[in-house]
C-alpha cells in the first residue's frame, strides 16, 4: 500500500507541504491561507509547472476565516451538532462560506479524530458472479446505506486472504464482510488481524464458519442435494455432475458435487464427476464420449453450463430428457427459453436487508459471541429437461 519511494527527482516537486515552521505553538488558524504560488516567503517552493492554478484544498479553517468564526463553530454548523445552538445568521454565513470555497470535509481527518469509521468493506468479487450475487450486493449496498454505513468494495487482486486482511485492516472499517467462497479465503489469522485492528464485526459468507467471525452460511451442498434428489426421484441412477474447469469456481462447484453425492448415498446410484470448460469445444468433447459414460442424468453445476452441455448433447443426437435428464441451477431466465425447457434449482439468497441487519447488530455489539445464520433456500423447479 505504500508507494515504494516517491520519485526523488526534482527537488521540491513532490513536497507535500513545505509549510513554514509554525511561529507559535498553537496560533492555530494563521497560516497557509493565501493561494500558495506566487513568490513564496523565503523558501523557494518551486512547484512544477503549474499550468493550471492548483488551488490549495480548502479546510474548515479556511471556511472559518471566511465566515469570520472559529473552526469549532464551523464544525458545529456543518455537522448540525444538536448539543450546541448556533444563531441563524452565523449558520448562514458558515454555509455560505463553505459553498463558496467548495469545502468538502476530509474523511481521513474525521475518522482519525473520531477513532472509528462507518465503513463496511465488501470484497469485490474476483470471478464473474452471476446475476444472483450482483443482485444481492446491490441490495445489501442499498440497505447498508440506509443504516448510514459507507459501503466500499475492496479488491485484493491476487493477494492471499490473510494478506488482504492486513490491507483491509489499514482502513479501520467498522465491519468486514468476507465471502470465503471467493478465491481470497479468510482464515482465523486474518480474522484475528482484523479484530486486533479494531474492526468491530467480521462476517463471513461461506460454506462453513470461520473461527472468531460471525457466519452467514450458504451451504452450496444443499443445491447439489436438491438437484440430486430430483434426478433420483425421476428414477435416474447413473448421474453425472459437471464441475467447471474455470478456476475460482471450486468454492461453489465442489460443495454442489458433494451435495449430489450425499443425496445418492444409500440409493445405489452412481455419481460421476465431469470436468467441463465453458466453451463449445469442451462441451462437444464431453458429449462425444457421452454414450460410453452411460449416464441417464446430469446435474450441470448451473444453468449456463447446463445450456452449454444440453446443446452439445442434442447435437450429438442424445435425447434430453429421454436418454439423459439435465438439471441446472440458479433459475436464469434463459433456461426457460430452451427447448426442452431447462429444469433447475432455484436458489433463494438472503435479502440485502437481512444481511445489513446482521452487520449492524454485529457492529453495535462487538463483544457478542459469533452468531451463525443459515441461509439459502433451495427448491427444485421441474420443467422439461429433467
Partner DNA sequence: TTGAAAGCGTTACCAG
Partner DNA sequence: CTGGTAACGCTTTCAA
Site residues (vs DNA, CB under 7 A): 2, 5, 17, 19, 21-22, 25-29, 31-33, 39-40, 57, 59-61, 68-76, 78-79, 81, 83-87, 90, 103-106, 109-110, 112-115
Shortest distance in whole angstroms from residue 81 CB to DNA:
6
Kindly give, in sequence order, each residue whose CB lies less than 8 Å from that of residue 189, ignoring residues fewer than 6 positions away: 162, 165
Dihedral, CA of residue 319, residue 321, residue 326 and residue 329, to nearest 10: 140
Pick the closer one to a second copy by CB: 18 or 374.
18
Pick the closer one to DNA by CB: 21 or 247.
21
Give burial (CB, 10 Å; 0-12/13-18/19+) of 157.
Answer: exposed
Shortest distance in whole angstroms from residue 197 CB to a second copy:
5
Piece of the chain touching a second copy by CB under 8 A; list 3-11, 249-257, 320-328, 342-350: 3-11
Kindly give, in sequence order, each residue whose CB lies less than 8 Å from that of residue 96, ignoring residues fewer than 6 positions away: 67
Shortest distance in whole angstroms from residue 161 CB to a second copy:
15
Q: List C-alpha distances in Å: 115 to 172, 173, 194, 314, 329.
A: 9, 11, 15, 62, 45
Pick the closer one to DNA by CB: 1 or 333.
1
Site for a second copy in 357-386 (CB under 8 A): 360, 363-369
Site for a second copy in 319-348 (CB under 8 A): 333-334, 336-337
Shortest distance in whole angstroms from residue 115 CB to a second copy:
4
Pick the closer one to DNA by CB: 14 or 334.
14
Site for a second copy in 59-98 (CB under 8 A): 78-82
Q: Identify the H or E element spanning 66.
A: helix 60-67
Q: List C-alpha distances in Å: 175 to 97, 178, 236, 361.
A: 35, 10, 46, 11
User: Helix, strand or coil for residue 88?
Assistant: helix
Q: Which three cell numbers stand for residue 178?
A: 468476507
| Residue 13 near a second copy by CB under 8 A | no
Amino acid at each position: 500500500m505504500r508507494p515504494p519511494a516517491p520519485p526523488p527527482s526534482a527537488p521540491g516537486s513532490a513536497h507535500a507541504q513545505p509549510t513554514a515552521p509554525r511561529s507559535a505553538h498553537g496560533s492555530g488558524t494563521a497560516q497557509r491561507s493565501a493561494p500558495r504560488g506566487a513568490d513564496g516567503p523565503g523558501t523557494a517552493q518551486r512547484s512544477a509547472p503549474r499550468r493550471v492554478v492548483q488551488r490549495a484544498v480548502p479546510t474548515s479553517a479556511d471556511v472559518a476565516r471566511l465566515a469570520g468564526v472559529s473552526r469549532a463553530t464551523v464544525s458545529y454548523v456543518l455537522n448540525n451538532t444538536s448539543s450546541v445552538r448556533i444563531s441563524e445568521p452565523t449558520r448562514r454565513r458558515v454555509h455560505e462560506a463553505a459553498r463558496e470555497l467548495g469545502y468538502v470535509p476530509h474523511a481521513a481527518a474525521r475518522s482519525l479524530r473520531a477513532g472509528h469509521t462507518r465503513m463496511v468493506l465488501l470484497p469485490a468479487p474476483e470471478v464473474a458472479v452471476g446475476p444472483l450475487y450482483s443482485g444481492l450486493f446491490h441490495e445489501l449496498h442499498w440497505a447498508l446505506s440506509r443504516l448510514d454505513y459507507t459501503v466500499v468494495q475492496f479488491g485484493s487482486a491476487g493477494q492471499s486472504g490473510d494478506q488482504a486482511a492486513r490491507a483491509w485492516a489499514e482502513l479501520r472499517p467498522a465491519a468486514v464482510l468476507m465471502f470465503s467462497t471467493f478465491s481470497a479465503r479468510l482464515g482465523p489469522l486474518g480474522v484475528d488481524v482484523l479484530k486486533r485492528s479494531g474492526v468491530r464485526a467480521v462476517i463471513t459468507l461461506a460454506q462453513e464458519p470461520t473461527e472468531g467471525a460471525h457466519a452467514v452460511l450458504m451451504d452450496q451442498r444443499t443445491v447439489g442435494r436438491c438437484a440430486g434428489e430430483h434426478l433420483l426421484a425421476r428414477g435416474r441412477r447413473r448421474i453425472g455432475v459437471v464441475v467447471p474447469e474455470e478456476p475460482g469456481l471450486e468454492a461453489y462447484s465442489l460443495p454442489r458435487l458433494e451435495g449430489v453425492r450425499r443425496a445418492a448415498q444409500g440409493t445405489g446410484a452412481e455419481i460421476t464427476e465431469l470436468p467441463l470448460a465453458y466453451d463449445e469445444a469442451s462441451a462437444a468433447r464431453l458429449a462425444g464420449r457421452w454414450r460410453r459414460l452411460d449416464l441417464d442424468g446430469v446435474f450441470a453445476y448451473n444453468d449456463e453450463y447446463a445450456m452449454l452441455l444440453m446443446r452439445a448433447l442434442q447435437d450429438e443426437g442424445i435425447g434430453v430428457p429421454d436418454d439423459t435428464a439435465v438439471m441446472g441451477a440458479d433459475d436464469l431466465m434463459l433456461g426457460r427459453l430452451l427447448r426442452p425447457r431447462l429444469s433447475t434449482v432455484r436458489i433463494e439468497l438472503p435479502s440485502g436487508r437481512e444481511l445489513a441487519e446482521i452487520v449492524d447488530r454485529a457492529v453495535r455489539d462487538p463483544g457478542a459471541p459469533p452468531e451463525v445464520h443459515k441461509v439459502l433456500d433451495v427448491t427444485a423447479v421441474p420443467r422439461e429437461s429433467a
